[in-house]
């Protein structure tokens, strides 16, 4: 794959996060900065890796069970996707559910336009109402869909990027956006054999390593950084206590560099924490949803229980003992 880096104008939020994150007692950079254009291309390549079972398994679950979803939620809903449906997964659901409208929500107008174009070609009669917004906060949906029953869609185990507190905040915001009685179809990765998890995040071809190291290249390109990228290596670690895979960039030597003129130094072995990918057991997943007001409706997994597709319903508040 050809690197496609067009040096974007420095994003002040990126600079602020990097400068604060590198200076923190436990150095870390928010994972969302991994996904520039090149990072998004590398993530797409990850989804095709033999070790990265997540995408393949979730797609098979959707193919097998979208008709079951349609049976439960009925047809003619508004499907509201959190994140733009650039993936191959959205059409599988839309074909089964035959919605009256499709509402993709994304913070990036560019990603949103790309996915709308792709889906409009495949579903010429489906009304599409894109919303450019941050779905971490409750959103007022377009009035054209306000009277329709809602099916939220949040595939890809993206919820796994968030620590539990933030995940619950997000699930609650989704409930506020969709309303009581709405459905949510969400993909969550399961806790499993540690070696299998680590292989999925430290593949033999080194694509995930390149994805992680791309953050340093991006800092150098966009924030006038002097980081010696060769002096860092990709690490994928299973944090059992937190039930998550962590990606880190580990200094292999003592290094010193500047970012936007600010000096930083790392000793050999010190790391920059770049991403979390939380994994959920059967009851963990149910509890997370319940904590945000979503009642379990149905869950589907593959033979090996490696990934779960979960359908939940937004519960009305009620008196509890
Ligand atoms: C896009 C967040 C679901 O955590 O599995 C893949 C990102 N990072 N390999 C994941 C990712 C490294 C991915 N999510």
Question: How does pLDDT run along the chain (321 residues), one tens digit per residue?
Answer: 555 555 566 899 999 999 999 999 999 999 999 999 899 899 999 999 999 999 999 999 999 999 999 999 998 899 999 998 667 899 999 999 999 999 999 988 888 898 899 999 999 999 999 999 999 999 999 999 999 999 999 999 999 999 999 999 999 999 999 999 999 999 999 999 999 999 999 999 999 999 999 999 999 999 999 999 999 999 999 999 999 999 999 999 999 999 999 999 999 999 999 999 999 999 999 999 999 999 999 999 999 999 999 999 999 988 888
3-state SS, the chain, equals: CCCCCCCCCCCHHHHHHHHHHHHCCCCECCHHHHCCHHHHHHHHHHCCCCCCHHHHHHHHHHHHHHHHHHHHHCCCCEEEEECCCCCCHHHHHHHHHCCCEEEEEECCHHHHHHHHHHHHHHCCCCCECCEECCCCCCCCCCHHHCCCCEEEEECCCHHHHCCHHHHHHHHHHHHHHHCCCCEEEEEEECCCCHHHHHHHHCCCCCHHHHHHHHHHHHHHHHCCECCCHHHEEEEEEEECCCCEEEEEEEECCCEEEEECCEEEEECCCCEEEEEEEECCCHHHHHHHHHHCCEEEEEEEECCCCCEEEEEEEECCCCCCC
- Closest ligand 1 atom, CA of 189? 5
Which ligand 1 atom sits closest to the C-alpha of 161? Answer: 2
Ligand 1 atom nearest to 156, measured from its CA: 3
Query: Whole-structure pTM over 0.75, yes or no?
Result: yes
Q: Ligand 1: which of 30, 33, 41, 43 to mutate, most ligand atoms within 8 Å of CB? A: 43
CB of 275 within 6 A of ligand 1: the answer is: yes
């Amino acid at each position: 794959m050809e690197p496609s880096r067009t040096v974007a104008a420095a994003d002040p939020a990126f600079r602020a996060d990097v400068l604060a994150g590198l200076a923190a007692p436990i150095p870390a950079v928010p994972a969302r900065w991994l996904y520039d254009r090149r990072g998004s291309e590398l993530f797409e390549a990850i989804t095709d890796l033999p070790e990265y079972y997540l995408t393949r398994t979730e797609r098979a679950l959707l193919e097998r069970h979208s008709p079951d979803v349609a049976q439960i939620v009925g047809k003619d809903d508004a499907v509201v996707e959190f994140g733009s449906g650039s993936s191959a997964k959205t059409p599988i659901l839309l074909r089964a559910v035959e919605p009256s409208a499709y509402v993709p929500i994304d913070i990036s107008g560019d990603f949103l336009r790309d996915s709308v174009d792709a889906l409009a070609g495949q579903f010429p009669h489906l009304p599409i109402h894109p919303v450019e917004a941050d779905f971490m906060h409750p959103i007022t949906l377009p009035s054209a869909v306000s009277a329709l029953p809602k099916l939220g869609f949040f595939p890809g185990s993206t919820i796994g990027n968030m620590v539990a507190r933030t995940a619950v905040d997000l699930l609650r915001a989704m409930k506020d956006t969709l309303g009581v009685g709405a459905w949510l179809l969400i993909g969550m990765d399961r806790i499993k054999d540690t070696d299998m998890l680590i292989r999925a995040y430290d593949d033999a071809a080194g694509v995930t390593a390149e994805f992680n190291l791309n953050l340093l290249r991006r800092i150098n390109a966009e924030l006038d950084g002097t980081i010696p990228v060769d002096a860092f290596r990709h690490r994928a670690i299973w944090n059992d206590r937190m039930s998550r895979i962590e990606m880190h960039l580990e200094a292999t030597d003592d290094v010193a560099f500047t970012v936007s003129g600010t000096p930083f130094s790392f000793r050999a072995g010190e790391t920059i924490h770049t991403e979390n990918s939380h994994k959920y057991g059967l009851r963990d997943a149910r509890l997370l949803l319940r904590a945000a007001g979503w009642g379990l409706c149905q869950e589907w997994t593959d033979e090996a229980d490696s990934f779960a597709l979960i359908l939940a319903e937004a519960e009305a508040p009620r008196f509890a003992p």
